[in-house]
Homo-oligomer: A and B are copies of this chain.
Amino acid sequence: MDAKEISRAVIGRLPRYFRYLGDLKDQGIERVSSQDLSTIMQVTASQIRQDFNHFGGFGQQGYGYKVLYLYEEIGKILGLDHKHHLIIVSAGNLGQALGKYMNFERRGFIFRGIFDKNPALYGKIINNIAVRPMEQIGAFIKENNIDIAVLTVPRVSAVAVAEMLVFEGVRGIWNFADIDLKMPDRIQVENVHLSDSLMKLSYNVNNSTGIDH
């Protein structure tokens, strides 16, 4: 299977399937039909079948899908059976919160280091890990096989810091700086635009009639 053939839209839906299947699994449900999954997820049954066909279909439609099997297979496709070692750059409010918040560990994302250029923060402990100076970042990435960097630097320094991280060997950037990072193709970037999301909410609140349909 060539991953490049699978569209971003399909990949974008996989975490959601994974999340809903996790809920079904936790409720002790063993099988689910594409119709039921469709109702829960508010995606058409035909969309679900199409999406799953990219990965071989995951079993007989007539009898429904095995929840645990499907959950585990989608987890493997998402790479959650691999460990990712990540660092956070920098240790401002958002960086510290993401460091503390790491319930991502159960999904295989291991928080290994946090860096800042502000000496006042050096040694501060975030979730058992001391903040290190930025100067140590290159050596740290190589010694600890860091593959993902969480970028929480201000927007103006985002490009320069991202380029440095890539130069030092990082392969994926989870970007919270409010800018669309454009990196070489071999580098994977997920841009999280918190303010875009808040602006959409603003639009919807302003244009809502306040009436249910």
- List A residues at the B interface (Cβ < 8 Å): 3-4, 11-12, 14-16, 18-19, 77-80, 82, 84, 93-94, 96-98, 100-101, 104, 107-109, 147-148, 171-174, 178-180, 184-186, 188-190, 192-213
Which listed residue (B96, B178, B190, B199) contacts A80, Cβ 8 A?
A: B199
A206 vs B79: C-alpha distance when bound (angstroms): 6
Task: Please give the distance in Å from A167's CB to the nearest CB on chain B.
Answer: 14
Contact B204 A186 (CB under 8 A): no
Contact of A208 among B84, B108, B188 (CB under 8 A): B188
Give the number of times this chain occurs in the complex, counting copies: 2
B84, B202, B210, B213: the one contacting A79 at CB < 8 Å is B202
Give the CA-CA distance A127 to B173 in the complex, in Å.
29
How long is the Cα–Cα vector from A154 to B36 in the complex, in angstroms? 26
Q: List the B residue with the shortest CB-CB distance to A1.
A: B207
Residues A107 and B199 in contact in the complex (CB < 8 Å), given A97-B97, A209-B186, A212-B185: yes
Residues of B within 8 A of A212 (CB): 184-186
